[in-house]
A = this chain, B = another copy of it.
Amino acid sequence: MPDLLTLLLDLHDLPASQLPEPARDAARSSLYDWLICGRAGTNEPVADKLRRFIAAEGGQGLASVLGAGTAPARQAALVNGATSHAIDFDDTHFAHVGHLSVGIYPAALAVGEETGASAGDVVDAFLLGSEAAIRVGMALGSAHYNRGFHQTATAGAFGATLAAGRLIGLTRDQMRAAIGLCSTRASGLKSQFGTMGKPYNAGIAAANGVESARLAELGMSSCADGLAGPEGFLQTHTDDPGHDLPPVGRWLLPEISYKFHACCHGTHAMIEALRAVGPVDPGDVAAIELRTNPRWLSVCNIADPGTGLEVKFSYAWLAAMVLSGRDTSAFDSYSDVVAADPALAAIAGRMTVTGDAGLSDMQAEGVLRLASGGQTPFAHDISAPIATDVLRDRLAGKSRALLGPDGGPPATLVGDLATMTAADLGRMLRGEAA
């Protein structure tokens, strides 16, 4: 089996003609989702602070900044990575153990604008960068995550390096140097969770990717193998590296998972399962019996939430919202008023939740029993693939929920990409018409 470095260099060298459409399609969906999350994050405090940080530095740049203006690619990548991760609504890749789009798309798009790339080039660079980041994340493994590192930042930086280097057109030797430089530059800890440091980590990944690729282009030298070599990133950053890595040509990005609900990820399988049941007469709910992976019981099983924030971690309240036809995708669905709603409380009081180690942490199962008689089993696995057209419809709905009917990227975006440039995408970041 080729080593990790060779896998990354082979990905870098892969001709565009060998990128299959289903994998590109996943990258296009990720772009759509990333633009939605990015636009939705522009008013967050962390986004404002980082925009002020790069504005104070100044600098001539062609790379668009989410919210407004342009900057050098490294600065734009820092801001856009953090901004798009600020509301924690972006995609997750479970094998990579982290979020791909927020670390890699900001680097790809910023360098794509600098190099005059097409939108298709940016999508391809993201795809290859993601395939690299997922493999680095798998090689770092759960031992890395459990030690306290944040794959979104660490493995993500290597993905960002690959994406930026692809668009710059680095030679194979330059890409080897870029990976070496990234190995000494990449960082990011989970201790930041719950603070502005968490979205900052995504910006760090993106900025490190731009920096490593641009320095390699200028001829900076580095170690021969920054990943699996002596004192490389694996040896220093994980106690149990994974060795069984998928070969180039096995496309992993399509396993990515999107968030459609503005609440704890541990509740999403239940929400999807109950959405399939559909709204019911609230007075007719006799019992809701939910089984879920035991790890979630200490995370998102608040029986009687006192605030809107606690509702996001309450199976019972969220089940009541879904069965009442309430919107779980919008932020303003989670107010303190909702936490005190007696109609929701009446349904929530009929919920029982039990742990079931036979279910993965992406699964939920249960039974809805009606007072009028009859029962409806429900089940969902959020790792199950979603048909592309269904996915795009749901992303359009997410966009409307977060940004209003006209605030998000055009619903025709994915179809239009074939004729667009990175500069067109940049205008969307800045909030201008494409």
For A93, the chain B residues whose CB sits under 8 A away are: none
Q: Is A169 at the interface (CB under 8 A from chain B)?
A: no
Query: Contacts A49-B215, A185-B187, A187-B185 given: A220-B235 contact, CB under 8 Å?
Result: no
For A196, the chain B residues whose CB sits under 8 A away are: 220-222
In the assembled complex, the Cα of A200 lies from the Cα of B211 at a distance in Å of 12
In the assembled complex, the Cα of A243 lies from the Cα of B370 at a distance in Å of 62
Most chain B CB inside 10 Å of its own CB: which residue of A56, A58, A180, A187 = A187
State the Cβ distance, A219 to closest chain B Cβ, in Å.
Answer: 6
Query: Contacts A185-B187, A189-B183 given: A148-B236 contact, CB under 8 Å?
Result: yes
Q: Is A313 at the interface (CB under 8 A from chain B)?
A: no
0/1 string, A150-194, CB within 8 A of B gives 1: 100100000000000000000000000000110111111111101
B220 touches A46 (CB 8 A): yes
Q: Is A4 at the interface (CB under 8 A from chain B)?
A: no
Q: Is A147 at the interface (CB under 8 A from chain B)?
A: yes
For A148, the chain B residues whose CB sits under 8 A away are: 230-232, 235-236
Kindly identify, within residues 209 to 245 of chain A, every residue whose CB is under 8 Å from any CB belonging to chain B.
211, 214-215, 218-223, 226, 229-233, 235-236
Q: Is A11 at the interface (CB under 8 A from chain B)?
A: no
How many copies of this chain sit in the oligomeric assembly? 2
In the assembled complex, the Cα of A201 lies from the Cα of B215 at a distance in Å of 13
**Interface residue count for A (Cβ, 8 Å)?**
56
A204 touches B192 (CB 8 A): no
With beta carbons under 8 angstroms apart, the residue of B56, B183, B186, B229 that contacts A72 is B56
In the assembled complex, the Cα of A57 lies from the Cα of B218 at a distance in Å of 13
With beta carbons under 8 angstroms apart, the residue of B49, B215, B233 that contacts A219 is B49
Q: Is A39 at the interface (CB under 8 A from chain B)?
A: no
For A120, the chain B residues whose CB sits under 8 A away are: none
Residue of B nearest to A184 (CB): B189
A195 touches B218 (CB 8 A): no
A218 touches B49 (CB 8 A): yes
For A46, the chain B residues whose CB sits under 8 A away are: 220
Most chain B CB inside 10 Å of its own CB: which residue of A148, A180, A211 = A148
Q: Is A331 at the interface (CB under 8 A from chain B)?
A: no
Q: Footprint of B on A, CB under 8 Å? A: 45-46, 49-50, 52-53, 56-61, 72, 74-75, 147-150, 153, 180-181, 183-192, 194-197, 200-201, 204, 211, 214-215, 218-223, 226, 229-233, 235-236
Interface CB pairs A-B, < 8 A, 15: A45-B219, A49-B215, A49-B218, A49-B219, A57-B60, A58-B58, A58-B61, A148-B235, A184-B188, A184-B189, A184-B204, A191-B223, A194-B223, A195-B221, A197-B221
Known: A46-B220, A49-B219. 7 other contacts (CB 8 A): A58-B59, A58-B60, A148-B231, A180-B192, A185-B204, A195-B222, A197-B223
